[in-house]
Structure 1
Amino acid sequence: MAEVESFTLDHNKVIAPYVRVIATEKGPKGDIITNYDLRFAQPNQAEIPTGAIHTLEHILAASLRDRLAGIIDVSPFGCRTGFHLIVWGEISATDVAIALKETLKEIVEEIEWSDVQGTDAKSCGNYKDHSLFSAKEWAKLVLAQGISDLPFERHIV
């Protein structure tokens, strides 16, 4: 079976919240994609409730695209401690962390329910499981703790 980098990470040693590069890969035609770990909650100590992580996913998918070029996907980890961010090319973890910080501030200060895309039965596969209130609370928590651009030590952006 192929080794998956995320499963080799010592989740007991990371210090959330942080942004880290999981991998940068070059395709057969030379295209480069980078996968990032946007960790909100300390692994094995906390998890984001499904309504909050679902709403955060929808907001991040749109709002991070306003700040970073080349986003392919934003998707939650099954463990509900954060998100994968996959982009074309390479962006520094610092620049991703800064964009994430700006997006979380926007969530706390500006986003209203009418701003959240994909919240009806036509555009979402589980439209009843959203919570903007909880998404805002998690955004506040991450901002209060600070976002590091290093996973094993605190280097707040």
Structure 2
Amino acid sequence: MEKIASFTVDHNKLKRGIYVSRKDKVGAETLTSFDIRTKLPNAEPAMDIPAMHTMEHLGATFLRNHEKWADKTIYFGPMGCRTGFYLIFHGDLSSNDIVEVTKEMFDFMAEFNGEIPGTNKIECGNYASHDLAIAKWEAEKYRTEVLATLKEENLTYPE
């Protein structure tokens, strides 16, 4: 059985950052999957599920309403290990291509006030599992500690 590519990344060396996880061809089109790594794997506590759920709702809402990226957004959602998010865009892209929109998205999350989009019983399968305060804290932590000081080691998977 062939190993999944993301399982070949040495998580002991992985920093928080924005990484191209994979590129897939769908007909003549390319989809680029990104690893938006918000937590240091196996070294810091994973994200709280309600906060991560809230960040998923906020991030998806932001991207699907973005002037430039709405039509390129395929998916935004949490990693099962709770150390970040997957983001899939239409196009053959690099990590550098999405730095600005990622910063904008985390600004949006960190500064969001009001009713979390899509959080009633009709719109969400686990509508009671949200935490805006911790979601905002997580977004602020990532934008100040990682996005504000991105280096090559935060944009390219370790060898």
Please give the range of the TM-score, normalised by the shorter of the 2 chains: 0.7 to 0.9
Decide whether aligned partners of structure 1 residues 39 and 149 sit closer, same or farther in structure 2, where only a CA change above 3 A counts: farther
Partner of 1:104: 106
Q: After TM superposition, give the deviation of residue 154 of structure 1 in Å.
A: 4.6
Equivalent in 64, 78, 81 of residue 79 of structure 1? 81
Task: Report if the CA contact (8 A) 1:64-1:100 is conserved.
Answer: no
Alignment of 1:48 onto 2:69: no
Matched pairs, number: 149
Report 1:1-157 matches (<5 A): 1-16=1-16, 18-27=17-26, 29-46=27-44, 47-65=46-64, 66=66, 67-68=68-69, 69-109=71-111, 111-114=112-115, 116-147=116-147, 148=150, 150=152, 153-154=153-154
User: Helix, strand or coil for the counterpart of 2:6?
Assistant: helix
Secondary structure, counterpart of 1:19 in structure 2 = strand
SS in 2 for 1:23: strand
1:58-78 deviation digits (Å, cap 9, x = unpaired): 111111231524111111000
C-alpha change, 1:154 and 1:19, in structure 2 (3 Å) is closer
SS state at 2:13 partner: coil
Output the CA distance in 2 between the equivalents of 1:120 and 1:52.
16
1:112 aligned partner, one-letter code: N
Hey, what's the Cα distance between the residues in 1 that align with 2:2 and 2:124?
32
The secondary structure found in structure 2 opposite 1:62 is helix
Shift in Å, 1:131: 0.5
Q: How high is the sequence identity, in percent, across the aligned residues?
A: 34
Q: TM-score, normalised by structure 1?
A: 0.87
Check whether the contact 1:61–1:74 (CA below 8 A) recurs between aligned residues: yes
The answer for unaligned runs of 5 or more in structure 2 is none
Alpha-carbon distance between aligned partners in 2 of 1:7 and 1:13, rounded to the nearest angstrom: 13
Q: Tell me how far apart the structure 2 counterparts of residues 130 and 76 of structure 1 sit (CA, whole Å).
A: 14
Distance (whole Å) between structure 2 residues aligned to residue 102 and residue 59 of structure 1: 12
Q: In the alignment, is the contact (CA less than 8 A) between 2:19 and 2:154 conserved in 1?
A: no
**Distance in 2 (alpha carbons) for counterparts of 1:59 and 1:149:** 26
Give distance in 2, aligned partners of 1:90 and 1:113: 35
TM-score (norm 2): 0.86
